[in-house]
Amino acid sequence: MPATDSRTALVRRARKVDRVLAATYPDARCELDFEDPFQLLVVTVLSAQTTDRRVNKVRPTLFAAYPDARTMAGADRAALEQIVGPLGFFRQKTESLLKLSHALVEQHDGQVPPRLDDLVKLPGVGRKTANVVLGNAFDIPGITVDTHFGRLVRRFGWTEETDPVKVEFAIGDLFPKRDWTMLSHHVIWHGRRICHAKKPACGACPVARWCPSYGEGPVDAGEAAKLVRTEGPA
């Protein structure tokens, strides 16, 4: 935390930023489409190294062919590769889906377990993916530390940690547990739309006054406005 921030001041500032982001992005949510916990688990695994919008495009075809863990576990590898092909790394992703669905069938009777400890034992599932599933499919609060979240909480001065697990615990300590899932959405939406990695739109940022990193990007309102995205990356 910044040297001038006491613990109490940091908590107040962090929660103020979250309230402003909540008002800025009232529709913030998981940007991956899904209908049940299995679908969310699969599309979250597929979203690695690609965008949510691309995953959403293949989702209907994927789940029309393999609606549950049992059918996906028995999928023909070549057919599954063809469906996930547009996402890149299709062989690796096909292997991940086959291993994941087999594990769900063998260990959990084909159901997605609503417990962090069980989820992270599944092939290809780390804490980030597990928290996405828990928070959005089961309403169990979790903090999703993706690249956007990690970048922004460090820019905000909420933590200096870089390890995702340490970031998760550090930020979780600043907010009530009930707020964790929506906090993740607010921060990630802001990272995708305004607080970009290479050139943040500082002059168009609704939380600039509380951000110690203000000025890393253009502060001119007109220049910054050109950098603002109305939706997540394609």
Domain boundary among 83, 116, 137: 137
Q: How many domains does the chain have?
A: 2
Active-site choice (18, 52, 93, 146): 146
Both tokens of 27, joined, read: 């529709």
16 is catalytic: no
Residues 6+ apart with CB under 8 A from 183: 18, 143, 171, 175
- Whether residue 59 lies inside any domain: the answer is yes
Catalytic residue selected from 128, 177, 179, 198: 128
Amino acid at 65: A
Q: Which two tokens stand for residue 89?
A: 């790394």
Pair (84, 47) in one structural domain: yes
Q: Which domain holds residue 72?
A: 37-137
Q: Which CATH number goes with the domain that contains 148?
A: 1.10.1670.10
Residue 118 annotated in active site: no
pLDDT at 234: 62
CATH of the domain at 64: 1.10.340.30
10-residue mean pLDDT profile of the chain (234 residues): values are 75 98 98 98 96 97 98 98 96 97 98 98 97 98 97 98 98 98 98 97 98 98 96 73
* Burial zone of 76 (CB within 10 Å; 0-12 exposed, 13-18 middle, 19+ buried): exposed
CA distance 50 to 28: 20
The reported pLDDT for the residue numbered 131 is 98
Q: What is the pLDDT of residue 4?
A: 58
Count CB-CB contacts under 10 A for residue 111.
13
With CA atoms as reference, report the closest residue to 11 among 158, 139, 209.
158
Residues 122 and 171 in one domain: no
